[in-house]
Amino acid sequence: MANKLDDMKARLAKLSSERAQLDTAIEEMIADMAELPPEQRSASDWAPDGASTRKYLELTQRQAAVETEIIDLSRAIVETDEPASSLH
């Protein structure tokens, strides 16, 4: 059981690191977009079908998936880590 718990904690640490990287990448993309005048955004990579827009959507979708996995894994760790006697 301890080995499974250690594996889950290691996975959680990896996911937390990925979440931090995604947060940083998304913040940088938002800052880059904010530097463009609004009228230029629709004609640039930030257009609805532009490369930056697609990349931003990919990052935010992955961010949501990572966050969901972190929540699920955190719950599983708590359930695994709690002694059976504490459930009563």
Q: Token digits for 55?
A: 């990349």
Question: Hey, how many other C-beta atoms are within 10 angstroms of the C-beta on 50?
Answer: 15
CA 88/CA 85 separation, integer angstroms: 6
Q: What is the pTM of this model?
A: 0.83
Whether pLDDT at 85 is above 50: no
Q: Of 58, 60, 61, nearest to 23 (Cα)?
A: 60
How do residues 23-78 score in pLDDT, each as one tens digit? 999 999 999 999 999 888 888 899 999 999 999 999 999 999 999 999 999 999 99
